[in-house]
Homo-oligomer: A and B are copies of this chain.
Amino acid sequence: MLETTPAGVEFELSQFFSESRARATEYGSHYLALWDALEEAATGGKRVRPTLVLTAFSGLGGVDMALAGQVAVSFELLHTAFVIHDDVIDRDLARRGVANIAGRFTDRAFAHGAEPDQAAVWATAAGILAGDLALSEAHRILARLPIAGDMRVRLLDLLDRAVFVSAAGELADVTNALAQHPPGMDDVVATLDQKTAVYSFEAPLQAGAVLAAASDEDIATLGRFGRLVGIAFQLTDDLLGIFGDSTKTGKSVTADLREGKQTALLAHARSVPGWDVIDPLVGKRDLTEAEAQRARQHLTECGARHRVESLAREYAARAIDELERSALPAALRGKLATLAGSSVERSR
């Protein structure tokens, strides 16, 4: 199994929020509420990125788990920042059915007698600022690590690349949703890679390896593996967003359709006959369960589901190939192969 996130990571996070709240007190109750909302946003995730940092670190001979835990927290807060800003961009007030920062501040604004438009401005401000605070802490943690200068620069370069490529991916994602010419399969996969695989898989694995003073070859292998497995995960997420069991995944199976999200499934469906069957259902805000069922049936019958499942398996297999051809320690290879397997075999 993968390295489980040690209590140290949770402790570091809760310590950071507790200190920040203490500092926030002198700036009034709204700022305190912002920090509460930020902590809430950073809580309860699957800690995928910390787990990857720690797995690579310990698998490559790293010993100081407290140090690796700091790097793990940095990548978790980077993720928190991106999720929060993504929600602002998408104008979402909830994530997985729970009020997000904008949702909480919208409620708070109404409780203070605000008009709807005022509440929206306040909610946007809260989301943007909370993301900025999380992003800043992600940088600050790496900048303060008590390690040699060249190692710190390498970690900072990984973080820099993660921010740079994710911004490109987020912009591409928004562009795909708006474009007059919807994206093809290659565009969708490139966007998944840029928006998520680099910062969520490549960077945390490589950061753990750099901190363990791994060889350049091992670091490069982990980067290639991370991007491939990251794409496999994201393609599987697209599948779960339509065909999943929401009681298991916690993820709505109508939201992607309602929002008209340009997924790999739709990219395939658009490229084969029968698109007119599903076209009116994509982006239909008041989509019924019966209509969602019809969309699912079409996405199965037109081959989209099969195509995306195959593609996800193909990326997972390529990820495992990278491991097999590598000089990584056998134990680490085993753990990462399990991860690659689970990327396409998650609860549906």
Contacts and interface: CB of A to CB of B under 8 A. Distances in A.
Contacts of A85: 128-129, 132
A26 to B, nearest CB: 9
Interface of A is mostly: helix
**Oligomer copy total:** 2
Interface string A165-208: 10110111011011110000000000000100000000000000
A269 interface: no
B139 A34 contact: no
Interface string A30-74: 110010000000000000000000000000000000000000000
A128 B174 contact: no
A213 interface: no
Interface stretch (A6-14, A152-160, A324-332): A152-160
Contacts of A168: 24, 27-28, 31
B133 A136 contact: no
A21 to B, nearest CB: 12
A121 to B, nearest CB: 6
A4 interface: no
B136 A170 contact: no
7 contacts: A20-B164, A90-B121, A112-B179, A121-B178, A125-B170, A128-B131, A136-B159
Interface of A: 20, 23-24, 27-28, 30-31, 34, 81, 85, 88-91, 109, 112-114, 118, 121-122, 124-126, 128-129, 131-133, 135-136, 139-140, 142-144, 146, 149, 152-153, 156, 159-160, 163-165, 167-168, 170-172, 174-175, 177-180, 194
Given A112-B179, A129-B171, 17 more contacts: A27-B171, A31-B172, A85-B128, A88-B128, A89-B125, A90-B121, A109-B178, A112-B178, A112-B180, A121-B177, A125-B171, A128-B128, A133-B167, A135-B135, A136-B163, A140-B160, A143-B156
Q: Which 4 A-B pairs have the closest CB atoms?
A: A143-B143, A139-B139, A27-B168, A125-B174
